Chain A
Amino acid sequence: MAFLLNLTWLLPTLTVLIIMLLPRDRLALLRGVNLVSAVAVLALVIGLLIAYVVQGPDPAYATGAVPRLAFVSRFAWFPALGMEFFTGADAISLLMMLMAAVIAVCGVLVTWTLTDRAKEFFILMQVLLAGTFGCFISMDLLAFFLFNEITLIPTYLLIGIFGSGKKDAAAMKLNLMLFGGSALIIVGLCGLKVVGGSFDMAVLATSEAIAGNPSFQSWAFPCLFLGFAILGSLFPFHTWSPDGHSSAPTAISMFLAGVHMKLGGYGCLRAGLYLLPEGAEQWMWVFLILAAVSVVYGALIAMRHTDLKFINAYSSVSHVGLVTFAFAAMSLTGLRGGVLQMLSHGFVTALVFALIGMIYSRTGTRDITKMSGLMKRARFLGVAFVLAGFAVVAIPGTSSFVAELTIFVAGFADNPTPLRLICAVACVSAVVLTAIYVLRAVNQVVHGPGDPGQLAPMTWAERAPVIILLVCILGMGLLPGWLIAALDASLDPIIMNMGR
């Protein structure tokens, strides 16, 4: 089973090699390999998740403050550095991987008709997937860091080569800012290694040396948390994300905003809150304020933009800000709400970016002031866009409602300080702002008296991802019970560490 877990990143790596060997003019074959690989990873992740839910964690990881891992494997990698290749997964990482795998399949389908330099595109995309899955299963922080760095390379090329608009500048801005975040992270990691004596998350989580060293925590936590928060596009370090996500090609926007950005939240949770809870206690008020500002500010700017991709990108800043806000509550409800929001926003934003891509390829514009009456010519697209809008607004029945309700409850719970109360009220007010910009976009694009003219019909490769993502959003919104139970068990060690 441990090998199967590693297959999630080995399979994309293998796919890279296969695609490299294939001739570039055999497009159908290239696409086929790409799709088969993505579907295989998805099947693998679903199987692993079922196995995890049925079996639970390995006995060695079932109690105490260690992560609730299963499918554990360890290889010595750089013994001199004390670095092991230590992989394993708990419910948090498996659910994140499920979301990533679903979005990967949808992304492959969305790029079905790509012909220009398709081989290179597929290679880079699979590298991105390999890096991302590697991140989610690495329980050695240095390996986690390395995989995270690996994802930045294909991101740069995918935006720079295949993007649109000011793609060069956007790609550079994205990479420079994320590298800046990485620099902060590596400082924190070195500190952890020096004080805790290891990069091993299970060792660090139970390390007395870290727990008994508040002065270390008070400088290491902001480094790690801020480094990852930049990847999670926290105000005021968010400006790379709207530029990057809007310049990227559709499938990459879906993956970057849906999955890659969540590596930030995931890192904040795993490396920040989990390992350095006292530092978190000390610094959280700063991140609370930044999160609340992100939420409101992102929504406000989304109201001003007229480019659909920018609207969704700023909406992502707003909705991912809720993740940090939820974490800042530092309670089980808050952490669960944050993870639920990461999952939910992944599906929702991927769906919105996919739909924007399909609209753009038909109408040739992303400017909402130049669009009207899409419903007249593209019923499926119009209905899907309205439903996606409802998901962004967090209508009950969609995944975002479950996540946002949990987050807001966490925000007001546990005798909030006046600061948290103000931030919570600000975040709730963003619910109204969201309704304004979403309905503005929906009414402009889908409704209205205009006629966009004859539009190309939807192909199956376009319908399939829309339907898959809608099923995920509604499924998570209607039946969140098992998800919450699984998450709570895996969040338990983090809560335990916070209470120590």
Chain B
Amino acid sequence: MADLLSAAWVLPLLPLGASLLGLLVHRKAALCAGISIGANAIASVLAVLTVVAWLGADTPTVISTLDWFTVRGDVVLRVGSMLDAISVMMIAMVSVIALMVSIYSVGYMRDDPSPGRFQALLSLFVAAMLGLVLAPNLGQMFVAWELVGVTSYLLIGFWWHKPGAVSASKKAFVVTRFADAFFLVGLIVLALGAGSLDFAVLLAPASAEALAAQGGVFGCNLLTLGTGLVFVGAWGKSAMFPLHIWLPDAMEGPTPVSSIIHSATMVVAGVFLTARMFPLADAGGSLVLAEVTGAVTALFAAAVACVQRDIKRILAFSTLSQLGYMMFALGVASQAHPDGFTASMFHVFTHAWFKCLLFLGAGVVIHAVHSNDLDHMGGLRRKLPITWLACLAACLAISGIPPFSGFFSKDAILAAAWGAGHKGVFALGLVTGGLTAFYMFRMLILTFHGSYRGDAAQLEHAHEDKWMVAPIALLALLTVAAGWPLQSLFAHHMVPPGVEAGHAGHPAWLPWVAAGAGLAGLVLAWLRYGRTPRMSALAGWRKALFDQLGSNCAWRWLLNRVLIGTIAKVSRQCDEGAIDGSLRGVADGAQALGMTTRWLHNGLIARYLMVMVAAAVVTLVVLGGMP
């Protein structure tokens, strides 16, 4: 079993191989699906076995690496795997969700012209994410991080003939790339300061001390500076406000892509990175960034989700809000109060299942009614009973209603905030919990309850494809089961390195209040939409405000107006005017010089004679003037 732990680096290679193979035979849809599902199934089994082996082994951290290339002295880029509590949890989660999504995609992409390519790219995405969570050093983390970005670009822009998809894929890449530039600088700062990229060295207390002792810029030491910069990378990838702007647009990709991006890959990578860097970030004090951005995003995104009409956009903003929870939970944690860390990772885990489920459910709905708009839905629970039940479970879970999984993780987050004395964040989390229940049940009611509001002809072919419903049903089971039974397991093992596992105080009233907030939101949604399942359209300043916040005016202004429209334009004008102009000036000057001296040599003997005489006179005068 110990071999299994040190050979964890095989895991990303499975989907990677499947992807390369799949791209070679991408025209054969069934074969590609088989390869993809097969690789993900083997990876899932291996991952679960790894979890079991890890829980049974005494060594909490298992590292195996291979040198890739030397950057500078001690800074060597290595590839391999590192297993500890968070990466063990992530590999299981990522590979099982990948399996579910690849099975689902068989049904969802059946009518698409290139399902083979889709499965292959999906596998590539999973491979990159597995490489990311297994990274034994910051270098592999960055490499996999970029590969996640590239594959997300390819997947969001999968329907490359749709203008919306094309611009959304570019936006996702550019915005995350902007954040990645900070990550890159942070990585270099930390690697040079601590003399290594390896987490084994980097996360040791000695490195934190060494980094803290070196001065950086702006009065920050290298520790604060480096961890802060790395966190900006997480900020972009996890789509925290105001870098969230790429995520709602990313809905242009096929729904299975949204499902996997929002549950187990991509956006979770930012939370994972923050958790990975926890010991350093905690020592450097940069976790406060995670707390503030997380809290702001949680509330802001929940508010925006309440007024969206597009089923996938609601889910997108709900993801943002939940990611905010995970981030601020990490932010309130510290060596003294590590509960936030545990709670955050627990929420990553529970959230993955129900968010994956919700997106897959939304996919079934969209397949049935051929629209994303809640206005064209309603009463679908009779046509899509399994989807309805599963989504109901997921909505209860995300709203934090016991005994569904989300209740336990959200309760743990709120308890951690309270326990660490961050009362403001606690209150904000509680309010967001109520809002979450409200917008989720608003969506559920408008989609599945009441009567159908769309074109009746559309609904005739609506059905539940067995390839699509099977993973949904399985995920529904996990949504229910991933909470309470695993609570003590997380409390025991999921602690930051160097911290003793222990359960801190948990006020007895807190679960009641947390569940109460969720229930209140639910009841409110029922009162508002239960009897008259219609939306009132937003108008006036409220519409404008939410459009601006949720959408991308600032992005367009910055990119098109400021960057391309002004800075780049001026640069080009300078290039063509000033630089080329002065070159032309030199050339013209040379020509003018030639022109002026030309009259000396015009071929007329008289002119030559005149010049000779003049020269002779000048010479004589000058010579004669000399003593």
Query: Which residues on the B side are within 8 Å of A429 (C-beta)?
Result: 181
Query: Which residues on the B side are within 8 Å of A409 (C-beta)?
Result: 71-72, 75, 188, 191-192
Nearest chain A residue, comparing its CB with the CB of B71:
A409
Query: Which residues on the A side are within 8 Å of B69 (C-beta)?
Result: 402, 480-481, 484
Q: Is A432 part of the binding interface, using a Cβ–Cβ cutoff of 8 Å?
A: yes
Q: Is A448 part of the binding interface, using a Cβ–Cβ cutoff of 8 Å?
A: yes
Quick one: given A300-B568, A301-B568, A304-B569, are A412 and B185 in contact (CB under 8 Å)?
yes
Contact of B579 among A236, A304, A397 (CB under 8 A): A236
Q: Is B163 part of the binding interface, using a Cβ–Cβ cutoff of 8 Å?
A: yes
- The 8 A CB mask of A396-426 against B (1 = contact, 0 = none) is 1100011001101110110000000100010
Q: Is A142 part of the binding interface, using a Cβ–Cβ cutoff of 8 Å?
A: no
- The 8 A CB mask of A312-347 against B (1 = contact, 0 = none) is 000000000000000000011100000000000000
Query: Which residues on the B side are within 8 Å of A333 (C-beta)?
Result: 71-72
- The reply to whether B163 and A428 form a contact with Cβ atoms under 8 Å apart is no
Which of B172-180, B313-321, B354-362 is found at the contact surface with chain A?
Answer: B172-180
Q: Is B488 part of the binding interface, using a Cβ–Cβ cutoff of 8 Å?
A: no
Quick one: given A236-B579, A395-B147, A481-B67, are A428 and B564 in contact (CB under 8 Å)?
no
Q: Residue among A301, A405, A428 with the most chain B CB within 10 A? A: A405
Which of B154-162, B291-299, B375-383, B386-394 is found at the contact surface with chain A?
Answer: B154-162
Could you tell me the distance in whole angstroms from the C-beta of A320 to the nearest C-beta in chain B?
16
Q: Is A190 part of the binding interface, using a Cβ–Cβ cutoff of 8 Å?
A: no
Q: Give CA–CA (A172, B174) in the complex, Å.
A: 38
Q: Give CA–CA (A177, B584) in the complex, Å.
A: 11
Which of A12-20, A40-48, A155-163, A439-447 is found at the contact surface with chain B?
Answer: A439-447
* Chain B, 569-615, CB within 8 A of any chain A CB: 569, 571-572, 575, 579-580, 583, 587
- The reply to whether B68 and A481 form a contact with Cβ atoms under 8 Å apart is yes
- The reply to whether A439 and B564 form a contact with Cβ atoms under 8 Å apart is no
- The reply to whether A439 and B161 form a contact with Cβ atoms under 8 Å apart is no
* Chain B, 158-213, CB within 8 A of any chain A CB: 160-163, 166-167, 169-170, 173-174, 177-178, 180-181, 184-185, 188-189, 191-192
Q: Give CA–CA (A447, B178) in the complex, Å.
A: 23
Query: Which residues on the A side are within 8 Å of B173 (C-beta)?
Result: 435, 439
- The reply to whether A428 and B184 form a contact with Cβ atoms under 8 Å apart is yes
Is chain B's binding surface mostly helix, strand, loop or mixed? Answer: helix
- The reply to whether B583 and A239 form a contact with Cβ atoms under 8 Å apart is yes
Q: Is A193 part of the binding interface, using a Cβ–Cβ cutoff of 8 Å?
A: no
Q: Give CA–CA (A332, B160) in the complex, Å.
A: 44
- The reply to whether A303 and B163 form a contact with Cβ atoms under 8 Å apart is no
Could you tell me the distance in whole angstroms from the C-beta of B583 to the nearest C-beta in chain A?
6
Query: Which residues on the B side are within 8 Å of A448 (C-beta)?
Result: 160-161, 163, 166
Contact of A390 among B150, B161, B575, B583 (CB under 8 A): B150
- The 8 A CB mask of A463-500 against B (1 = contact, 0 = none) is 00000000000000000110010000000000000000
Query: Which residues on the B side are within 8 Å of A122 (C-beta)?
Result: none
Q: Give CA–CA (A401, B180) in the complex, Å.
A: 14
Query: Which residues on the B side are within 8 Å of A177 (C-beta)?
Result: 583
Q: Is B427 part of the binding interface, using a Cβ–Cβ cutoff of 8 Å?
A: no
Could you tell me the distance in whole angstroms from the C-beta of A418 to the nearest C-beta in chain B?
8
- The reply to whether B564 and A432 form a contact with Cβ atoms under 8 Å apart is no
Q: Give CA–CA (A332, B571) in the complex, Å.
A: 33
- The 8 A CB mask of B66-80 against A (1 = contact, 0 = none) is 011111100101000
Contact of B157 among A239, A332, A447 (CB under 8 A): A447
Q: Is A297 part of the binding interface, using a Cβ–Cβ cutoff of 8 Å?
A: yes
Q: Is A431 part of the binding interface, using a Cβ–Cβ cutoff of 8 Å?
A: yes
Could you tell me the distance in whole angstroms from the C-beta of B130 to the nearest C-beta in chain A?
15
Q: Is A436 part of the binding interface, using a Cβ–Cβ cutoff of 8 Å?
A: yes
Quick one: given A406-B72, A409-B72, are A304 and B572 in contact (CB under 8 Å)?
yes
Q: Give CA–CA (A339, B563) in the complex, Å.
A: 31
Q: Is B217 part of the binding interface, using a Cβ–Cβ cutoff of 8 Å?
A: yes
- The reply to whether B166 and A447 form a contact with Cβ atoms under 8 Å apart is yes
Could you tell me the distance in whole angstroms from the C-beta of B229 to the nearest C-beta in chain A?
10
Quick one: given A421-B217, A431-B177, A447-B157, are A300 and B571 in contact (CB under 8 Å)?
yes
- The reply to whether B579 and A439 form a contact with Cβ atoms under 8 Å apart is no
- The reply to whether A397 and B160 form a contact with Cβ atoms under 8 Å apart is no
Q: Is A305 part of the binding interface, using a Cβ–Cβ cutoff of 8 Å?
A: yes
Could you tell me the distance in whole angstroms from the C-beta of B116 to the nearest C-beta in chain A?
13
- The reply to whether B157 and A301 form a contact with Cβ atoms under 8 Å apart is no
- The reply to whether B166 and A301 form a contact with Cβ atoms under 8 Å apart is no
Quick one: given A396-B146, A431-B181, A443-B170, are A373 and B571 in contact (CB under 8 Å)?
no
Query: Which residues on the A side are within 8 Å of B583 (C-beta)?
Result: 173, 177, 239
Could you tell me the distance in whole angstroms from the C-beta of B465 to the nearest C-beta in chain A?
28
Nearest chain A residue, comparing its CB with the CB of B160:
A447
Could you tell me the distance in whole angstroms from the C-beta of B137 to the nearest C-beta in chain A?
13
Q: Is A70 part of the binding interface, using a Cβ–Cβ cutoff of 8 Å?
A: no
Query: Which residues on the A side are within 8 Å of B162 (C-beta)?
Result: 449
Could you tell me the distance in whole angstroms from the C-beta of B303 to the nearest C-beta in chain A?
30
Query: Which residues on the B side are within 8 Å of A300 (C-beta)?
Result: 567-568, 571-572
Could you tell me the distance in whole angstroms from the C-beta of A140 to the nearest C-beta in chain B?
32
- The reply to whether A376 and B161 form a contact with Cβ atoms under 8 Å apart is yes
Q: Is A92 part of the binding interface, using a Cβ–Cβ cutoff of 8 Å?
A: no
Query: Which residues on the A side are within 8 Å of B185 (C-beta)?
Result: 408, 412, 425, 428
Q: Is B527 part of the binding interface, using a Cβ–Cβ cutoff of 8 Å?
A: no
Could you tell me the distance in whole angstroms from the C-beta of B143 to the nearest C-beta in chain A?
4
Q: Give CA–CA (A326, B164) in the complex, Å.
A: 39
Q: Is A375 part of the binding interface, using a Cβ–Cβ cutoff of 8 Å?
A: yes
Q: Give CA–CA (A481, B67) in the complex, Å.
A: 9
- The reply to whether A413 and B177 form a contact with Cβ atoms under 8 Å apart is no
Nearest chain A residue, comparing its CB with the CB of B170:
A439
- The reply to whether A301 and B572 form a contact with Cβ atoms under 8 Å apart is yes
Contact of A301 among B71, B178, B575 (CB under 8 A): B575
- The reply to whether A373 and B161 form a contact with Cβ atoms under 8 Å apart is yes
- The reply to whether B146 and A432 form a contact with Cβ atoms under 8 Å apart is no
Q: Is B559 part of the binding interface, using a Cβ–Cβ cutoff of 8 Å?
A: yes
Contact of A412 among B70, B150, B160, B189 (CB under 8 A): B189
Query: Which residues on the A side are within 8 Å of B191 (C-beta)?
Result: 409
Q: Give CA–CA (A9, B276) in the complex, Å.
A: 54
Q: Give CA–CA (A205, B188) in the complex, Å.
A: 33
Quick one: given A239-B583, A396-B146, A436-B174, are A303 and B192 in contact (CB under 8 Å)?
no
- The reply to whether A432 and B166 form a contact with Cβ atoms under 8 Å apart is no
Query: Which residues on the A side are within 8 Å of B166 (C-beta)?
Result: 443, 447-448
Could you tell me the distance in whole angstroms from the C-beta of B248 to the nearest C-beta in chain A?
19
Q: Give CA–CA (A301, B568) in the complex, Å.
A: 6
Query: Which residues on the A side are within 8 Å of B181 (C-beta)?
Result: 428-429, 431-432
Nearest chain B residue, comparing its CB with the CB of A299:
B568
Query: Which residues on the A side are within 8 Å of B575 (C-beta)?
Result: 239, 297, 301
Query: Which residues on the B side are within 8 Å of A408 (C-beta)?
Result: 184-185, 188
Contact of B146 among A173, A376, A395 (CB under 8 A): A395
Nearest chain B residue, comparing its CB with the CB of A383:
B23
Query: Which residues on the A side are within 8 Å of B67 (C-beta)?
Result: 481
Contact of A431 among B170, B184, B587 (CB under 8 A): B184
- The reply to whether A484 and B70 form a contact with Cβ atoms under 8 Å apart is yes
- The reply to whether A304 and B160 form a contact with Cβ atoms under 8 Å apart is no
Could you tell me the distance in whole angstroms from the C-beta of A350 to the nearest C-beta in chain B?
22
Contact of B571 among A301, A396, A410, A440 (CB under 8 A): A301
Interchain Cβ contacts under 8 Å between A and B, 18 examples: A301-B572, A304-B571, A304-B572, A305-B572, A396-B144, A405-B71, A409-B75, A412-B185, A421-B217, A431-B181, A431-B184, A432-B178, A440-B170, A447-B160, A448-B161, A449-B162, A481-B70, A484-B70
Known A-B contacts: A173-B583, A303-B564, A449-B163. Give 18 more (CB < 8 A): A239-B575, A239-B580, A239-B583, A303-B568, A304-B569, A332-B72, A393-B177, A395-B147, A395-B150, A412-B192, A413-B72, A428-B184, A431-B180, A432-B177, A440-B170, A443-B170, A447-B166, A448-B160
Query: Which B residues have a C-beta under 8 Å from some C-beta of A?
Result: 67-72, 75, 77, 142-144, 146-147, 150, 153, 157, 160-163, 166-167, 169-170, 173-174, 177-178, 180-181, 184-185, 188-189, 191-192, 217, 559, 563-564, 567-569, 571-572, 575, 579-580, 583, 587
Top-9 shortest CB links A-B: A447-B160, A396-B143, A333-B72, A300-B571, A300-B568, A304-B572, A439-B170, A435-B177, A303-B568
